[in-house]
Amino acid sequence: MARSEPPSNTKDAPESRPAAAPRRASRRGIGASVLLIVATVAVVLVAQQALRLLPDSLNPFEEETKDRSGPVLLQSIRDLSRYEAASGNFQVIVDLEKDAKFLPSSVRGSRTLFVGQGSVDAYVDFSRLGSGAITVNADRTAATVRLPRAQLDTAALDPKRSHVFATERGLINRFGDFFSGNPNDQQQLYVLASQKIQQAAAQSGLRERADQNTKLMLENMLRALGFKTVNVQAAAQ
């Protein structure tokens, strides 16, 4: 006789869910992505090193500079009648910060540190000597010279030694600089550095040094011409 098997209770049997397989697959996918990124970076670095070893003529990424400037045009010539008596070298660090009124600097704003190095010359303009500025006695043994005060020339910034030391920009500024450059920012830094150097030269005693050097030069020159008594007077302040 055939035996009757007990009916199986399908409701009580737990359903089998393959949960571990997707997790393992996802981990494998992440690991493969990381390995792909690392391999790509390694290939790029190796390629860069290999290209650096190539001669410049064979390197396709070698930068080439071409000067397409036009000819220099002479605009004017002016005669100089002044004695360069002293020159001062100056250095200034310009700390220029620009912020928005209602936004933090990390969003919109910029701060630039600029190192400016330049010089200011002090000179005496001999063209300002009047008709009675030089007097000589009858036997030509004594001379009196009345000089104008020394003047300061415009500060000349050295572009080779002046440079941007550090800069900080907000998110909006970085986004804007990505699409367009603003050369006026550099110009503003140069102008501001020149102004500060000019102000420092006016307070440095450079004019007084130029007055003394000019006086000494004229005294030595006139004594070499045979004058025994030389009196060089500077104009009033």
Instruction: Report yes or no: 116 and 160 within 8 Å, Cβ to Cβ.
Output: no
pLDDT digits (tens, 9 = 90+) for 46-101: 666 665 665 655 556 566 788 888 898 888 887 778 899 999 999 999 988 776 66
State the Cα–Cα distance between residues 153 and 187, nearest whole angstrom: 20
Q: Which two tokens stand for residue 59?
A: 């390197």
Give the tokens for residue 21. 């397989």
User: How would residue 178 be classed by pLDDT, with cut points 50, 70 and 90?
Assistant: very low
The number of residues making up the chain comes to: 237
Residues 135-163 have a mean pLDDT of 92
Where is average pLDDT lowest: 126-130, 137-141, 191-195?
126-130
Q: Is it the case that residue 221 has pLDDT exceeding 80?
A: yes
CB 197 within 8 A of CB 118: yes
Cβ contacts of residue 93 below 8 Å, gap of 6+?
113, 114, 115, 116, 165
Residues 234, 149: contact at Cβ < 8 Å? yes
Q: How confident is the model at residue 2 (pLDDT cuts 50, 70, 90)?
A: very low
